[in-house]
Amino acid sequence: MSKVKIIDKKSEESILNEKNILSKIKHPFIINMYCAFQDYENLYLLLDLLSGGDLRYQFNSLENNFGENEVKFFISCIILSLEYIHSQNIIHRDIKPENLVFDSKGYLRLTDFGVAKILKPENTTISDTSGTPGYMAPEVLFTKNHTFHVDIFAIGVIGYELLIGHRPYRGKDRKEIRKNMKERQIMIETDDNKGNKWSEDCINFINRCLKKNPEMRIGYHFGIKELKVHKWLINMIGINYIIKI
């Protein structure tokens, strides 16, 4: 990474934050860092090589949307990465398809910890609005204190997008997205009038992730464990399942 470009984009804090966080964690479902170094012109992070492209690229390459079983698998991969980083008191805060990359076997792994935060005993919530508006939880968009549950909302957005073909709350900018979110609670219907039908367990899971009130969101009381034991996923987490890409 060019030092000049980092300074021009005022990304120093983000780069250092990612480096510091990656130096503390290691897991099969994240993109791990092995070392960091620099020369006069550049900064370097040595990371896992993932050759499958990101989820956005694969999604845009499809003629149709992903099927329910594929979405279930992708969400399971995300949940395993979040289970680990949340156990390390880290909130990712920017879960989106561009930050989910396929390895050579088709497993999704989480990357880009530039706006992630480590929660400390004296600081159990965060109030700044970092992240990507289309995937931000309401408590972030409306500059309220937030914690781990924002990552769960993003899971719901991704699940909705992969099944329906677009994000639940859309707009040309953050203000328009915030307005749409304020006006209504979007949910997946049993039948989308295009012939697409999904299981009740699938719809229940994604709709509960998308609850605007974090206290009503799945995972509010027991964290990621609550997602893992949901009927839609309980037989999925931990199996050796490979998506060919």
| Residues known to be catalytic | 94
As a whole number of angstroms, the distance between CA 216 and CA 117 comes to 23
Task: Give the pair of three-digit tokens for residue 66.
Answer: 């992903």
Q: Which two tokens stand for residue 138?
A: 């309401």
Rounded to whole angstroms, the maximal C-alpha distance in the chain is 58
Residue 5 CB coordination number (10 Å): 10
- What is the number of helices (H) and of strands (E) in the chain? 9, 6
> What distance in Å separates the CA atoms of residue 191 and residue 181, rounded to the nearest whole number?
22
Look at residue 223 and give its three-state secondary structure: coil
DSSP per-residue letters across 93-141: ----GGGEEE-TTS-EEE---TT-EE-BTTB--B----S-GGG--HHHH
